[in-house]
Amino acid sequence: MVGQKDSFYGIFSARLREILQKADLDLGSLQELRLRSGRPVLLQYGGYEYGLLPDGALTREAARGVCISRPELEETLEHISGYSLYAFDEELRQGFLTVPGGHRIGVVGKLVLEDGKVQCIRHISCMNIRLSHQIRGCADEVLGHLVAGGTLCHTLIISPPRCGKTTLLRDLIRQVSDGTRWLAGMTVGVVDERSELAGAYLGEAQNDLGMRTDVLEGAPKAEGMMMLLRSMSPQVIAVDEIGSSADSYALENVFHCGCRLIATAHGTSLEDIRRKPLFHRMAQEQMFERYVVLEGDPAGSVREILDGRGNCLYRRREQARTGRKKVYTEGGCGGGDMQDDVDRDEDCRDALHHGGLCVDRARP
């Protein structure tokens, strides 16, 4: 972990690096760090926003935190690019850079256009450093609900931003690829448009996506799915953040070629997704056989898992008196079948025995 911290802190300007070293943050709890020219440094840490004081202490009064100057932004960018910014022109045209560890740095500034296409970004004024977290096993309690008759179901993970959909997708890919008690290992083709899933740095994956996984990095999702279908004979295709009209044709081909699909999309519920043009017909025709809905309290929590008809297979419930989260399901979520949230330990053991799910998770 010390080596990981030194490598991560090494991308920052000298002053900010010194402050971060004093802070001695748990990188596992650090979600993102935003640097805006002339503005306070902001951290998303453990699900909360903090400013950073000169002595390394965190403060919820973000306006009191240290500010970063434009020269410090430029120094950070030089460290990130290894003083060879020109080598990252292609990534910068897409608005981000990837650094060792699979962490992604989004950048904004003045766009330079030519014939309506982005040529480069100048005068960068803000960076958003999003940390890549590979959490092995985070899909353990989910995968069993995505298998029916020994076959992986077409699955859509629905989630608001920063609620763990990419982290969950990454672990699902790894487990499907390597094989689990639910499934034999399958060949997985991954379209990694923004290098978030594999976290590739200079072409080398920083995250473990399994031994039967082929990664197509940097390709637009629609083109990437078609390329994988034509060239790699995948049994499963995985893609992050679908939703554009360009994705529609490629998704149709995946659904009808015998290949299984695992995808994610921004949304808050199945009802929300159904209102979006791309998904409306797919939901009506039950093209997706499973929906996994995430929520952010705490981040990465699975709120419910639904089948293609919208029937609930799993739902997370809150135990208000203890301030803890408890999930209980027994093959369906009809309100009349749910038992009280009191003294249910034995019921939970029975649910596990019969293939149900009971998770007890404390608030952060």
Higher pLDDT, 293 or 2: 293
Task: Report the DSSP beta bridge partners of residue 358.
Answer: none
Cis bond before residue 364 (omega within 30° of 0): no
What pTM, to 2 d.p., does this model score?
A: 0.75
- Looking at residues 206-224, what average pLDDT do you find? 92
- Looking at residues 69-81, what average pLDDT do you find? 90
Long-range pairs of 61-68 with CB within 8 A, sequence gap ≥ 24: 64/40, 65/40, 65/41, 66/16, 66/19, 66/40, 66/41, 67/38, 67/39, 67/40, 67/41, 68/13, 68/16, 68/35, 68/36, 68/37, 68/38, 68/39, 68/41
Domains in the chain, ordered, with CATH? Answer: 2-130 (3.30.450), 140-310 (3.40.50.300)
Q: How does pLDDT run across 1-25, given as a tens digit for each residue?
A: 455 787 888 899 999 999 999 998 9
* Three-class DSSP category at 294: strand
- pLDDT-based confidence at 270, cuts 50/70/90? very high
Number of Cβ within 10 Å of residue 209's Cβ equals 26
- Looking at residues 135-141, what average pLDDT do you find? 91
Q: Is 218 exposed, middle or buried (0-12, 13-18, 19+ CB in 10 A)?
A: middle
Interatomic CA distance for residues 317 and 340, integer angstroms: 10
Average pLDDT, the chain: 82
Task: Identify which of 67, 25, 7, 11 has the alpha carbon closest to the alpha carbon of residue 42.
Answer: 67
Q: How does pLDDT run across 219-234, given as a tens digit for each residue?
A: 889 999 999 999 999 9
Q: Can you give the pLDDT at residue 331? A: 47
Q: Can you give the pLDDT at residue 287? A: 93
Tokens 């402050």 appear where? 19
Interatomic CA distance for residues 244 and 239, integer angstroms: 13
